[in-house]
Structure 1
Amino acid sequence: MFYFIPTWNQNHTDWELEFLEWYYTTKKMEFDDTVNQLMMFNQAKEKNKTIILEYAPMLRDFLQRQDLYDIDYYSIFDDLQDTKVENVRPIDPFEFDWPKNVKFIYMPFNILAEVNRKLYAQIISGNLGQLQRINFFEEDKTTKTYIFDDRGFLSSVVRFNGDGQFEEQIFFNLAGEWRFKRLSSEEVIINPLFRDEFKREKYAAMRELIEEKYNEFAQENITKDDVIVIASEKRHNQRILNAKKSGRVILSIFSQRLNIEQDFPDETELAKVDVIVVDTQQNEKLVQEKLNAMNVSIPVLQIPPFDSRLRLGKSQRIKELKIFVLVDKTPLAELEIIIDEISKAMYKDTKINLMLGAYAANQEATGKLDKLKEKILNRLNLTEEEIEAIEKAENQIESEIDKELIKKARFFRRITFYRIESESEWIKELNFVRLIIDMGKDMDLYLQIAGISAGIPQINSTPSPYVENYKNGMIVPDVLEIKEAINYYLVGLKHWNQALVYAAGKIVQYSSDNLISLWNESLELATAEGEKLDE
């Protein structure tokens, strides 16, 4: 059995998974190495279980977004709160015991409850419409927050003092009885009614309570022949690797989660690790250097975390040649040069379309999108209002001058200014992209993973572990040479097909079955070396 222990928390704490309101976005992609590994193990029908250590009342929402809804998992907090339930039931917030004179006001992003024309509560829903949270107010200050589990029950209540500062968080079971509470001092108090289910009456921090339950689970379920795959993160490593070892351990390092230079495990923690998996060649080199410096011998595997939600070759199904340009990390002046070259190609070939993309949460990047739109309109000597008017009157236009305006309007409509709101929506867009351009000095990791997962060639300014020159993309250090790279992949299908075949080979190389074989071979090697040292 393979046990996966992810770390999906984006919070400042090390024990809870933060879920923003559905209308907020984050610069960070949710996809990571563990998501990839779980997808591959499920595809291979290899027996596995995921151990969720974080408090995650909206866990099913997250798993659904990552196509992992059917995974087998054990949740520490389901155990701690006694909330093991599989059935999902909807909660109607209007059935609660509201004041008689309450008035509900439907806003674009939530529902407000007013009493005597004063804000009384704020009802917040999740991505799928399920009740996520209710904030209560007095004199415009938050007094308490009800946090709901996406399976349909009240999970915890957060209380605040008169100054709006955190006071305590109370965790409930399915019967509405409080099991334990976290105080402002971070101390955790156990309800005396359930004292016999815990080893202590109180804990210095939530971390200690989680570690206690994890150790119990590991001792009761994980054998020496099982494999534990740990998503490496500083706090996560300390929590798991400092516990009594159960089974064989694979440490999985993902670039956007662990700073190898600063937070690499020490010798004591590494003593419990059998194999290390990294996502890039650069990380493989860094890890090997760290191990050599400590005189520690552990097999290191470099396995790219492909996103199997993307499929190869879908852009062949449409006649348009869609170019995606990520603007976030590329200077505005260079973007103008890139757009100018693509525009020339668009005038020659009407099948070429351009998508300029930026993370919605990155205000600087979305500001670039606005500036680029303005510059393109200025070059066309038109406004958006004028373009709309031209489109409406297109059937009545006969003069040559007006026909030229139609061409300009149609050209502008072939350019999309795309704000990346969510990972799932972006995946849909990338499925039909023919070429990716990211000329930032620090390329976007997820975009590169997505590119190779979908077999889309990429043009970058600096070398990368995921893009090999003239194989699945081109490295163009000087933006003035971008024209040659664009033509290389858009003029004819030969080079584009070569990139697709190369990407397909890479994905096959790290397919579900091969991934499992690589891990098992490395574990056997580590076991054999360990036995030699024991002799």
Structure 2
Amino acid sequence: MKVLFYFIPTWNQSENDWSTAFPEWYFTTNKMEFDDTVNQLMMFRQSEEKLKAVILEYAPMLRDFLQRQDLYEIDYYSIFDDLQDTHLDNIRPVNPFEFAWPKNAVFIYNPFNILVRVNNQPYAQMISGNLGQLQRINFFKDNKLSKVYIFDDRGFLSSIITYADDEFEKQEFLNLAGEWRFKLDKNGVVVINPLFKQSFKQEKYNSMKDLISEKYFEFIEDNLTEKDVVVLAGERRHNQRILDLPKSGKIIMSIFSNRLDIDQNFPSIEQLMKVDVIVADTPKNTELVQSKLAELNIQIPVLQIPPFDSRLRLGQSQRIRALKLFLLVDKTSTEELELMVDEILQLMQQDKRIELILSGYASNSKSMDKLNYLKDRILDTLRITENDVQTVGTAENQLQDEESQDAIQNIKLFKRIEFYRIDSENGLVSKLNFVRLIIDMGEDADLYLQIAGISAGIPQINSVPNPYVEHQKNGLIVSDSLELKQALEYYLVGLKHWNEALVYAAGKIVQYSSDNLVNLWKDALQLTKKGGKLRE
């Protein structure tokens, strides 16, 4: 009998600890949605393991999110479906024009939403989701937000938020009949509708967290056995919700760099006593976790398993003439970046085929500052301005003197440099399709970029040894930025070394395939005890 894996993600993007906010379809979050749980669900589904996602957050646009992540058909249990009694498998479209709008309402269409005006005053704003479904209607009174209707992507009104003088007043959570089951007051207290008190153990709860905890405890009592495994996405508020409750089944905590600050928000001793195994995403985090456990005098097995699998989608850089270099700035100091860019500029002057993509994650403001700084510095180095770059096309034929010709050559060189903001997984993978070489000289190389590079068969240059890039196999380990020029020439001059890296990467793709990573998770189960224990 197969083990059943329960994955408890934390896809919370809102300010509170119980709901997941989904922005309008036209709004870019600048945040990578893809995380360890998303890929773990993908891998286990592909390996045909028994799994169920347990969604503890209020997520009326959950199906929309799962569809974007190619997880639409996974089995899941939603706490709020139980709390609201909104179990519904089919999807039914909502036509907002069937609502009781004032007779003199005027509907104004724009590329982003539909505005409703009454007596030439703002009355409402209809907002759609990514798939065109009605997501939200904002209502206004005296030019102030007065009420918000939040719709579930399955096609029903899920909750109503009421405001008074622009301040949150209450949020009522509805069932499929439109009756409120419970409401959240502005003081944070949750009040149960007396009509449905038989479905709850209390008439009031001090917080939404208490209500969710009660329902989750009922779920684990009714469903989990000692053989089942709970994979918990480690996060400060999430840990409290799960690990403060009685334990059932084996618990594996998944540590993901972009979610948990190990130094500041590591679980307490009491919480860790319920954890059987910890899985960390990077070697650095593995060491940090082991160090924290030693400080707390607790024994828990810690394994380092990549949260991302590799899929064979080799890049096509060998099919184009350009030699595109992809340089990530996030974890590299500004001083080192200056040295590296200077070396690359010299090579670009010698070889017009070389192009540079300077990249950083859009959600990281420091990375964006680095890109802006490097852009200004490169312009100064080349003794040109942005205005020169924009106008050279019209004036090029009129400029004949030597100084002008030098400026034109520098402008053409600058145009071979792209400043790329990484704001989505698909965007990054697409950008790597024609990249010849990845450069990430940070002290802790970016894991997602490394796995994406392996999948595309792109050699990588890193500054520190790591499990994913092996020296002179699928990349180079260069400890000093001053040695970068030789490393670049190693892969850009001829195709011998590049082809060797491509062949070796194919082996890495097998090593980090879904099946192999799932087997590592199964190995982790062999290490499980009855929770963490104090060292003797």
- Shorter-chain TM-score range: 0.7 to 0.9
Aligned to 1:101: 104
Q: TM-score, normalised on structure 2?
A: 0.86
- Unpaired segments ≥5 residues, structure 1: none
Shift of 1:249: 1.7
Aligned to 2:226: 224
Shift of 1:44: 0.8
- Report the 3-state secondary structure (helix = DSSP H, G, I; strand = E; otherwise coil) of the residue aligned with 2:526: helix
Aligned to 1:59: 62
Change in 2 beyond 3 A, CA 1:76/1:498: farther
Aligned to 2:159: 156
Shift of 1:95: 3.6
* Structure 1 residue corresponding to 2:357, chosen from 346, 355, 358: 355
Aligned to 2:78: 75
Aligned to 1:46: 49
**Offset from partner CA, 1:469-496 (integer Å, 9 cap, x none):** 4444334444333212222222233433
Change in 2 beyond 3 A, CA 1:114/1:406: same
Q: Provide the C-alpha distance between the structure 1 equivalents of 2:71 and 2:395, rounded to a whole number of angstroms.
A: 47
Equivalent residues of 1:390, 1:405 under 8 A apart: no
Shift of 1:66: 1.9
Shift of 1:181: 0.7
Shift of 1:376: 5.4
- Report the 3-state secondary structure (helix = DSSP H, G, I; strand = E; otherwise coil) of the residue aligned with 1:196: helix
Aligned to 2:484: 482
Q: Provide the C-alpha distance between the structure 1 equivalents of 2:274 and 2:509, rounded to a whole number of angstroms.
A: 30
User: For residues 278-297 of structure 1, what are the structure 2 equivalents within 5 Å?
Assistant: 278-297=280-299
- Unpaired segments ≥5 residues, structure 2: none
Aligned to 1:257: 259
Equivalent residues of 1:83, 1:174 under 8 A apart: yes
* Structure 2 residue corresponding to 1:523, chosen from 522, 525, 529: 525
Shift of 1:263: 2.7
Q: Provide the C-alpha distance between the structure 1 equivalents of 2:370 and 2:111, rounded to a whole number of angstroms.
A: 27
Equivalent residues of 1:356, 1:415 under 8 A apart: yes
Q: Aligned pair 1:385/2:390, yes or no? A: yes
Equivalent residues of 1:123, 1:133 under 8 A apart: yes
AA aligned to 1:56 is A
AA aligned to 1:182 is L
Equivalent residues of 2:31, 2:363 under 8 A apart: no
AA aligned to 1:145 is V
**Offset from partner CA, 1:117-138 (integer Å, 9 cap, x none):** 3332233222333322222222
**Offset from partner CA, 1:30-62 (integer Å, 9 cap, x none):** 222212211111111111111111111111222
**Offset from partner CA, 1:57-110 (integer Å, 9 cap, x none):** 111222222222221111111121122222233333344333333333444543
- Report the 3-state secondary structure (helix = DSSP H, G, I; strand = E; otherwise coil) of the residue aligned with 1:434: strand
AA aligned to 1:39 is M
AA aligned to 2:158 is S
AA aligned to 1:385 is Q
Q: Provide the C-alpha distance between the structure 2 equivalents of 1:338 and 1:231, rounded to a whole number of angstroms.
A: 37
* Structure 2 residue corresponding to 1:32, chosen from 14, 35, 44: 35
AA aligned to 1:115 is V
Q: Provide the C-alpha distance between the structure 2 equivalents of 1:333 and 1:261, rounded to a whole number of angstroms.
A: 27
* Higher mean C-alpha displacement, 321-330 vs 244-253: 321-330
Q: Provide the C-alpha distance between the structure 2 equivalents of 1:521 and 1:445, rounded to a whole number of angstroms.
A: 22
Aligned to 1:176: 178
User: For residues 200-239 of structure 1, what are the structure 2 equivalents within 5 Å?
Assistant: 200-239=202-241
AA aligned to 2:192 is I
Change in 2 beyond 3 A, CA 1:216/1:447: same
- Report the 3-state secondary structure (helix = DSSP H, G, I; strand = E; otherwise coil) of the residue aligned with 2:435: coil
Q: Provide the C-alpha distance between the structure 2 equivalents of 1:294 and 1:274, rounded to a whole number of angstroms.
A: 16
Change in 2 beyond 3 A, CA 1:35/1:335: same
CA RMSD of aligned residues (A): 3.4
Equivalent residues of 1:255, 1:279 under 8 A apart: yes
Q: Provide the C-alpha distance between the structure 1 equivalents of 2:451 and 2:383, rounded to a whole number of angstroms.
A: 36
- Report the 3-state secondary structure (helix = DSSP H, G, I; strand = E; otherwise coil) of the residue aligned with 1:383: helix
Q: Provide the C-alpha distance between the structure 2 equivalents of 1:67 and 1:316, rounded to a whole number of angstroms.
A: 30
Give identity over the alignment, percent.
63
User: For residues 489-504 of structure 1, what are the structure 2 equivalents within 5 Å?
Assistant: 489-504=491-506
Q: Aligned pair 1:15/2:18, yes or no? A: yes
Q: Provide the C-alpha distance between the structure 2 equivalents of 1:318 and 1:34, rounded to a whole number of angstroms.
A: 36
Shift of 1:466: 4.7
**Offset from partner CA, 1:426-479 (integer Å, 9 cap, x none):** 222223322222345565454344334444333344555654544443344443
Q: Provide the C-alpha distance between the structure 2 equivalents of 1:362 and 1:229, rounded to a whole number of angstroms.
A: 28
Q: Provide the C-alpha distance between the structure 1 equivalents of 2:506 and 2:408, rounded to a whole number of angstroms.
A: 41
Q: Provide the C-alpha distance between the structure 2 equivalents of 1:69 and 1:296, rounded to a whole number of angstroms.
A: 39
Aligned to 1:438: 440
Q: Which has the higher contact order (CA 8 A, sep 6+)?
A: 2
Q: Provide the C-alpha distance between the structure 2 equivalents of 1:106 and 1:309, rounded to a whole number of angstroms.
A: 42
Aligned to 2:147: 144
Equivalent residues of 1:377, 1:384 under 8 A apart: no
AA aligned to 1:20 is P
Equivalent residues of 1:390, 1:409 under 8 A apart: no
Change in 2 beyond 3 A, CA 1:367/1:260: closer
AA aligned to 2:208 is M
Q: TM-score, normalised on structure 1?
A: 0.86
Shift of 1:375: 5.9
AA aligned to 2:313 is R
Q: Provide the C-alpha distance between the structure 2 equivalents of 1:284 and 1:189, rounded to a whole number of angstroms.
A: 43
Aligned to 1:129: 132
Shift of 1:193: 1.8
Shift of 1:253: 1.3
Equivalent residues of 2:251, 2:275 under 8 A apart: yes
Shift of 1:413: 4.6
Q: Aligned pair 1:326/2:328, yes or no? A: yes
Q: Provide the C-alpha distance between the structure 1 equivalents of 2:406 and 2:211, rounded to a whole number of angstroms.
A: 71
- Report the 3-state secondary structure (helix = DSSP H, G, I; strand = E; otherwise coil) of the residue aligned with 1:276: strand
Equivalent residues of 1:25, 1:360 under 8 A apart: no
Change in 2 beyond 3 A, CA 1:130/1:414: farther
The number of residue pairs the alignment matches comes to 525
**Offset from partner CA, 1:5-34 (integer Å, 9 cap, x none):** 111113332211122233443454222221
User: For residues 236-251 of structure 1, what are the structure 2 equivalents within 5 Å?
Assistant: 236-251=238-253
Q: Provide the C-alpha distance between the structure 2 equivalents of 1:458 and 1:400, rounded to a whole number of angstroms.
A: 42
Change in 2 beyond 3 A, CA 1:262/1:421: closer
